[in-house]
Amino acid sequence: MKILVTGGAGYVGSHAVLALRARGADVVVLDNLRQGHAAAVPAGVRLIEGDIGDAALLDPLLGEGFDAVLHFAALSLVGESMQKPMLYLRANAAAGMVLIEACLRHQVGRFVLSSTANLFAGGDAPLDEAAAIDPGSPYGESKWMLERALTWAGRTRGLKSVALRYFNAAGADPDGRLGEDHDPETHLIPLAIDAALGRRPELAIFGTDYPTPDGTCIRDYVHVSDLAEAHVRALERLAAAPEGAALAYNLGTGHGHSVRAVLAAVGRVAGRAVPAQEAPRRAGDPAILVASAARFMAETGWAPRFGDLDTIVATAHAWRVAHPGGYGG
């Protein structure tokens, strides 16, 4: 199988490249390296620096003949998308449609989209695929637009696709080859680890008056290597799917953890309490977001291998300790 991975130098994409290579796939990475890191692409994998919206680059590339495209490349900061909505709609939705169109021109049979829980407004019970779509930001909306585009690419042109809506991707490759390195870093677990390691000032707990048992937001943290494996399963699922199938699945562990529970886990793993201070709510955060991945599990046999919060945190912690400067240092 020859597979193009857009955003393959980024956090989730690079872990997916490892999973694909472990199955013997011939992988090519397309990444503009604005968020991604060349050092996250394994030796022997061709890295093409460029944009997903560049049709002049895509035509000769996809003309080589690819069985599938795994599409991770995106701007992914929810808060920034509220400040710059058109940037997100252009960079994620409009450019993503250029990519989908190129796939149609070059008979790419299968497409897997990295989608998001930001499609949902949240709820007390684990969210399955029947939950109402109500994107919380232009970021979420841009992913929903791509899901819709894939539905139409399937219905009219036969493209088979899967949208995987991840909840909170977290952790790092258990063998220590890859980790999480964002600039700026906005995610809870790496920030909490850095605070515990004394590399940052105290962590701000965004909101302590949510309608949850301890007043802080609850999220479903799913290990990035489990997400990577889910992409392999999604490709297998599509092989057996009818022409034009446009599938979508929610992906998480089914278990939620509050911000305070995450800080406690980081404290256990680091052997030091996370210095933290209560702060006002962050705009746009739903109180509770937990996935029901029951459909994906039933249809593909996938199950999280690293579902336990302490394991997720331990893998993230090991990578940050070994790479104080991220990929650059």
Give catalytic residues, as residue numbers.
139
| Closest approach of ligand UD1 to the CB of residue 78, in Å | 4
What does the binding site for ligand UD1 look like in residue numbers (CB under 6 A)?
76-78, 116-118, 136, 168, 186-188, 191, 203-206, 217, 219, 259, 282, 285-286, 289
| Closest approach of ligand UD1 to the CB of residue 325, in Å | 20
User: How many Å apart are CA 147 and CA 228, to the nearest integer?
Assistant: 19
DSSP string, 271-293: TSPPPEEEEPPPTT--SEE-B--
| Closest approach of ligand UD1 to the CB of residue 56, in Å | 30
Residues 6+ apart with CB under 8 A from 127: 117, 120, 250, 289, 290, 291, 292
- Of 63 and 79, nearer to ligand UD1 (C-beta) is 79
Question: Which tokens hold the place of 4?
Answer: 């193009």
User: How many Å apart are CA 304 and CA 311, to the nearest integer?
Assistant: 12
Q: For tokens 């090519």, what's the residue?
A: 28
CA distance to 125, 216, 293, per residue, from 255 (Å)? 10, 15, 10
| Closest approach of ligand UD1 to the CB of residue 186, in Å | 5
User: How many Å apart are CA 250 and CA 77, to the nearest integer?
Assistant: 20
| Closest approach of ligand UD1 to the CB of residue 253, in Å | 14
Q: Amino acid identity of 10?
A: G
Q: Are 62 and 4 in contact (CB under 8 A)?
A: yes
Nearest residue to ligand UD1 by CB is 217
Q: Nearest CA to 98 among 133, 61, 44? A: 61
**CB atoms < 10 A from the CB of 116, how many?**
25
